[in-house]
Amino acid sequence: MSKYAKDQPVGFKNAIEKVAIVGAGGTIGSHIANALLKTGKHTVTAISRKDSGNKLPEGIIVAHVNYDDEATIVAALKGQQFLIITMAPTAPRDTHSKIVQAAAKAGVPYIMPNAYGPDIDNVKLGQDTLLGPVAKANRDEIERLGMQWITVCCGFWYDYSLAGGEARFGFDFDKRSLTIYDDGNTKISTSTLAQVGRAVAKVLSLKELPQDENDNSLTLSTFLNKGVYIKSFVVSQNDMFESVKRVTGTTDAEWTLTHEDTKKRYEDGMAQVKVGNMAGFGKLLYARSFYPDESSDLSEKVHNDLLGLPDENLDQATKAGVELVKELQLRVERMAS
Ligand SMILES: NC(=O)c1ccc[n+]([C@@H]2O[C@H](COP(=O)([O-])OP(=O)(O)OC[C@H]3O[C@@H](n4cnc5c(N)ncnc54)[C@H](OP(=O)(O)O)[C@@H]3O)[C@@H](O)[C@H]2O)c1
């Protein structure tokens, strides 16, 4: 396909209107789907398992699929211009590939693969956290099959990670305890679930292609085979703790603090994962991301201004995190890994 709208066949509409999303009822997918629906510019189709118990956003079209029957996935994806995959990390490993292969057969040109994590160019962080090679393989497969990808680099989800138990940002709200990694001052970049949703909706609301060689405006094609980098806050655990105390109206005296060395915690988590205990995964992932000399901070690369994303208030995001605690506790299997 030529890179300019002026060269496209008659009838070409320079916009992404038909979007399919896997996981529209999930943690991040629900935020993305709702943000897309809110623009009024997209027809959004949820690709969902027939027996799914997930509640889907209002106004979404539902296409039921069986991941063991490729024809159902191809049929659901026919005519879609953009496929967003937000698939549970606990789903079978080959499901992502099944979706991507079906998308190629259905003629979908662009895919946002599962990732929604750290900077994809930080290869060492990706290798150390075990996530990098998986995400790279997903992107490579998309290219190999003749499609293009846009991936979201957002760092940890702030509200989710705050709420998601001790293995994540170290907070256990039921016990009012906090595990502080090293001295608690290492800053990482994070994004709220809402900010990720907004960012994806902004990118998919851009013109697909520049009109011609003189058109320098931002288009969806600017991001093809690249990351969209975003952030909400660059914060340390100590910053989070101050915010948590403000939001919950608690004081230092009401919290039990423990300190742990990130390198030791990373190694402990890795040892657990090596013997098949996935409880170690969250531990190694978050501990590694808080290494004082190599933390997960992509803030220098963010596209927030380019995309017109709003500045957010840390305490409001902390409040959203605290409100998410009970909901995440119901997801026992997920929170254990
Ligand atoms: N940056 C961060 O802090 C962070 C945190 C967590 C996750 N992530 C990443 O974000 C992505 C999405 O995670 P998420 O938490 O949004 O996912 P999720 O809510 O756990 O699941 C998303 C969807 O996956 C589908 N699904 C669930 N189990 C499945 C199975 N066994 N087979 C096939 N489909 C299944 C479900 O869709 P249907 O029921 O509609 O079929 C579900 O709504 C992952 O790549 C993950 O690594 C990032």
Q: Which of 95, 203, 113 is nearest to 151 (CA)?
A: 113
Name the band, by pLDDT with cuts 50, 70 and 90, for residue 336. Answer: confident
CA 27 / ligand 1 centre spacing (Å): 7
Cβ 27 under 6 angstroms from ligand 1: yes
Higher pLDDT, 104 or 331: 104
Residue 324: CB atoms within 10 Å: 19
CA 52 to chain centre: 21
Higher pLDDT, 201 or 3: 201
The answer to whether residue 249 is domain-embedded is no
Instruction: Among 55, 116, 324, say which to mutate for ligand 1: greatest number of ligand atoms within 8 Å of CB.
Output: 116
- Give CA–CA dist 237/255, Å, rounded: 14
**Residue 148, in any domain of the structure:** yes
User: Residue 98: pLDDT band by 50, 70, 90 thresholds?
Assistant: very high
**Residue 51 resides in a domain:** yes
Burial class (CB in 10 A: 0-12, 13-18, 19+), 146: exposed
The two structure tokens encoding residue 157:
């989800």
Give 237-246 pLDDT, tens digit per residue. 999 999 999 9
pLDDT at 2: 66
Domain tally, the chain: 1
Cα of 175 vs centre of ligand 1, distance in Å, is: 27
**Helix ranges restricted to H, the chain:** 27-39, 70-77, 95-106, 123-128, 131-144, 158-163, 193-204, 237-248, 262-274, 279-289, 304-307, 314-329, 332-335
In a domain, 10, yes or no: no
Q: What is the pLDDT of residues 17-26, one digit of tens each?
A: 999 999 999 9
The residue-averaged pLDDT of 207-211 equals 98
- Tell me the pLDDT tens digit for each residue of 33-46: 999 999 999 999 99
Kindly tell me if the per-residue pLDDT of 127 is higher than 70: yes
Give the pLDDT confidence score for residue 182 in this predicted structure. Answer: 98
Which CATH number covers residue 25? 3.40.50.720
> What is the atom index within ligand 1 of the atom nearest the CA of 29?
16
Q: What is the mean pLDDT of the chain?
A: 97
- Name which residue leads in pLDDT, 2 or 282: 282
* Smallest CA separation from ligand 1 atom 10, residue: 116
Tell me what the mean pLDDT of segment 298-315 comes to. Answer: 98
Q: Which domain holds residue 61?
A: 15-154+191-229
Whether 97 is in a domain gets the answer yes
In a domain, 302, yes or no: no
Is there a domain that residue 92 lies in? yes
